[in-house]
Structure 1
Amino acid sequence: MQHPLKNYVFFGSSSFSELVLEKLFTKGFPPKLIVTTPPAIAGRKKQIKTTEAMKWASSHNIEVFHPTTLDLNAAETLKKNEAEVFIVAAYGKIVPKNILDLPRLRAFNIHPSMLPRYRGPSPIQSQILDDEDKPGVSIIKMDEQVDHGPILSQKELVIEEKNVQNYSYTTLGKTLFEIGSDLLVEGLDGLTKGLVKPVIQNETKATFTKKLDAPLALNPENAKDAWLKFLALGENVGVYILVNTKKGVQRLNVNRANYKDGTFIPLRVTPAGKKEMPYEDFLRGQH
């Protein structure tokens, strides 16, 4: 029997989506269509920014579909593809039930946590913030509720010293989605052969994350907490410290930092209205 990934539509947008696409492609599973979020206008120069998944599609001559909403028209377009299965990885939109129901095998999602823990929009960041000692990734058969469907397969990440303090948002995310790509291929193969069956999630163990889209203040005196916030949010949402100066309290965005001997050390910062600079240079300018 043919592997389901010989005929699939992929839903994804971010660099993690691109990673999954590349992994599946190298295993001999190119998608017949990539569904991604529409191009957006970004930055002061009002440049049009396309998703990483769209860039990957362009370089591999794969057709792209970027609907603003997954409405009835979008459903009709997707229905014409007659895909065996839909794969969702870091897409950025909720996929409605009428679209999930289109393929014969329905839709499967790569979710970067050990479900039912860390459901919701920020599982990677939240695991870092919690100093989670058992981060992992799950493959679920999607239903109409967010991150709720039965689990096809999942795997914990083995971390040295059992913590995530040496992982940033990007490095932990890449690791989990790489593992998830392999789990997806193995799990769907087993499902097709009748060797595995999705298992309903234990609702009593479910935990939920919230959207993290605003920069967070750091308190360097609480060094470990500051470091975890930097790892979780420094590369995407942003973090900052408040420093007393001759001109009063100034806000400095922290771009690079270190954590050593229980101390949080800012390395490179960006003061409001200025260019990035070494933190030590900023401090010298205040004396």
Structure 2
Amino acid sequence: MTSIIFMGTPDFSAPILRMLHHEGYDIKAVVTQPDRPVGRKRVLTPPPVKAAALELGLHVIQPEKLRGSEELQQIIDLQPDLIVTAAFGQILPKELLDAPPLGCINVHASLLPKYRGGAPIHQAIMDGEKETGVTIMYMEQKLDAGDIISQKAIPIEKDDYTGLLFDKLSAVGSELLKDTLPSIINGTNSRIVQDEAQVTFASNISREQERIDWANDATTLYNQVRGLHPWPVAYTTFEDGNFKIWWAKVGNAKHDTIPGTVVVISKDHFEVAAGNGTTLALYDVQPAGKKRMTAEEYLRGTGSKLQIGDQFK
């Protein structure tokens, strides 16, 4: 029986781990990130992969940093046939990449060579891409640059957002890995070198990428909002405070005013001027110092003073 060490951290990775367990692979250990403080009360919380591993009765290893750690040697000493990673969150040292006889493979949430890096799902939506997918690839020391073993594409629907697409691609990744593993184990898998001329990157989302630039047209802003939903969430500024936009749509109004100006106030939303005469309709918001609320709740409450002509920046 092929022995595997699985390495992953977020919700995206947990179904992939469950699939490996269900298929009967010998999972020697699950390697994931340390528990982290979560929420306003900073409650120490295990990553989703740890929770899944413990539920399945699997041994868990949580190195703060792999390189040069005691945990690295522990992993190598387990002598797995194969290492499978999925959104683990750390670069694997060369001695680990070289250890398993069947190599180290990664389940990556993009159609490589497009969107190498840590935020491929966010970036694909923000860029207005019409499709994305999952790539099973061999790992090497250069970020997401290894040979492609298999891929599967899916459309990005117009109402998809990052959280929903994470779930879709996790399911796709589980099935693709399930179908691909036998060929890796018996040595009949494909191995396609990535075309470096087609490489694009999707680095972890920066604070600047979260900020709304009202000079952009409404479609661009809608893609930004849904690409950052439900984390880390797009924001603008209003009345000298950060104003989060959890959900919005392309508005119907036309205008010839300064971008960022409130141009329509309705019962359940309000529209803000964007670039090229378009508007963004805000439906789910969070004013500075307040909880998340619908735009209707905002307009009835603290936002009841919102007026046509008010300016978001």
Is TM more than 0.5 here? yes
Moved over 4 A (4+): 259-263
One-letter code aligned to 1:42: V
Instruction: Give the one of 284, 288, 292 matched to 1:276.
Output: 292
Q: Which runs of 5+ in 2 are unaligned?
A: 253-277, 307-313
Q: Find the aligned partners of 1:205 and 1:136 in 2 and give their Cα distance.
A: 16
Decide whether the 8 Å contact of 1:120 with 1:147 is kept in 2. yes
Decide whether the 8 Å contact of 2:132 with 2:153 is kept in 1. yes
1:156 pairs with 2:189: no
Instruction: Give the one of 13, 18, 25 matched to 1:17.
Output: 13
C-alpha spacing 1:277/1:43, structure 2 compared with 1 (3 Å): closer
Matches within 5 A, 1:1-287: 2=1, 4=2, 7-29=3-25, 31-72=27-68, 73-157=70-154, 159=155, 163-214=156-207, 215-217=210-212, 219=214, 222-243=217-238, 248=239, 250-259=241-250, 264-284=280-300, 285-286=304-305
How far 1:21 sits from its partner (Å)?
Answer: 1.4
Q: Secondary structure at the match of 2:151?
A: strand
Report the TM-score, using the length of structure 2 for normalisation: 0.81
Report the TM-score, using the length of structure 1 for normalisation: 0.87
Q: Find the aligned partners of 1:53 and 1:205 in 2 and give their Cα distance.
A: 32
One-letter code aligned to 1:267: Y
How far 1:218 sits from its partner (Å)?
Answer: 5.4
Decide whether the 8 Å contact of 2:9 with 2:49 is kept in 1. yes
Structural RMSD (CA)? 2.2
C-alpha spacing 1:50/1:218, structure 2 compared with 1 (3 Å): farther
For the pair shown, the structure with the greater C-alpha radius of gyration is 2
Q: Find the aligned partners of 2:84 and 2:35 in 1 and give their Cα distance.
A: 21
Decide whether the 8 Å contact of 2:146 with 2:193 is kept in 1. yes
Q: Secondary structure at the match of 1:44?
A: coil
Q: Secondary structure at the match of 1:87?
A: strand
Bigger drift between 165-174 and 111-120 goes to 165-174
Decide whether the 8 Å contact of 2:32 with 2:61 is kept in 1. yes
The share of aligned pairs that are identical, in percent, is: 28
Q: Secondary structure at the match of 1:185?
A: helix
Number of equivalenced pairs: 275
Q: Secondary structure at the match of 1:57?
A: helix
Q: Find the aligned partners of 2:220 and 2:26 in 1 and give their Cα distance.
A: 42
How far 1:259 sits from its partner (Å)?
Answer: 4.3
Q: Find the aligned partners of 1:265 and 1:197 in 2 and give their Cα distance.
A: 47
